[in-house]
């Protein structure tokens, strides 16, 4: 091998070094994998022994059960409201209020038209009064809807409280 030229030595040396470096890199990676595996085993052991996994599992279970119970309560409340006709009565009351407000607005409009025809000089004042009355009727209808909604919410809350008291007393 002494007959190998210096040009060939220069070509083979970097390749041999590169192969050695690759081998060393592989050995380093294998060593790090072993170290990290041992660290991971230790970490899992500490977590298991600390009770953190059980605590997390218990917390998730409790949250799931609470969500289930809440869902059941909401479903039962809605069913009871439906069975007692509260929702239907509320909707009917809102419809009646809106219908009454519309009738009032129409009556005021009719009165305004009659007044305009009877006394054209005061038509502008009456038209303004008519618009004001229509607006007041609209506002009254909106307030009625809001009151009905609030009353319904309060009834639901009272029903829910009574259900909880009944559940706790069992």
pLDDT score of 7 more than 50: no
pLDDT at res. 3: 45
pLDDT at 17: 63
The pTM of the whole model exceeds 0.85: no
Q: Who wins on pLDDT, 57 or 156?
A: 57
Q: What is the pLDDT of residue 107?
A: 85
The span from the CA of 117 to the CA of 144, in Å, is 34
- Residue 51 reports pLDDT greater than 60: yes
134 within 8 A of 106, measured Cβ to Cβ:
no
Tell me what the mean pLDDT of segment 45-73 comes to: 89
Q: Which of 7-21, 59-73, 134-148 has the highest mean pLDDT?
A: 59-73
Share of the chain above pLDDT 90, in %: 14
Helices 123-169/52-84 angle, 10° precision? 130
Cβ atoms 97, 144 nearer than 8 A: yes
- Summarised one tens digit per residue, pLDDT across range 116-169 is 677 666 666 666 776 777 777 777 778 777 887 787 787 777 777 766 666 665
Q: What is the mean pLDDT of residues 14-40?
A: 86
What local confidence, expressed as pLDDT, does residue 40 receive?
A: 92
% residues pLDDT > 70 (the chain)? 76
Per-residue pLDDT at 2 exceeds 50: no
- pLDDT tens digits for 103-120? 888 887 787 777 667 766
Write the DSSP string, 4-15: --HHHHHHHHHH
């Amino acid at each position: 091998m002494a007959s190998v030229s210096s040009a060939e030595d220069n070509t083979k040396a970097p390749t041999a070094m590169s192969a050695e470096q690759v081998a060393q890199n592989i050995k380093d990676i294998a060593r790090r994998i072993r170290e990290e595996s041992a660290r991971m085993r230790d970490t899992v052991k500490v977590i298991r022994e600390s009770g953190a996994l059980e605590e997390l599992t218990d917390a998730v279970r409790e949250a799931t059960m609470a969500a289930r119970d809440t869902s059941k309560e909401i479903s039962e409340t809605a069913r009871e409201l439906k069975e007692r006709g509260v929702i239907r009565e509320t909707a009917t009351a809102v419809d009646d209020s809106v219908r009454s407000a519309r009738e009032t607005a129409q009556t005021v409009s009719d009165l305004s038209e009659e007044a305009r025809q009877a006394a054209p000089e005061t038509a502008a004042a009456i038209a303004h009064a008519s618009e004001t009355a229509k607006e007041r009727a609209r506002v009254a209808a909106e307030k009625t809807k809001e009151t009905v909604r609030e009353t319904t919410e309060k009834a639901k809350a009272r029903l829910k409280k009574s259900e909880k008291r009944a559940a706790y007393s069992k």
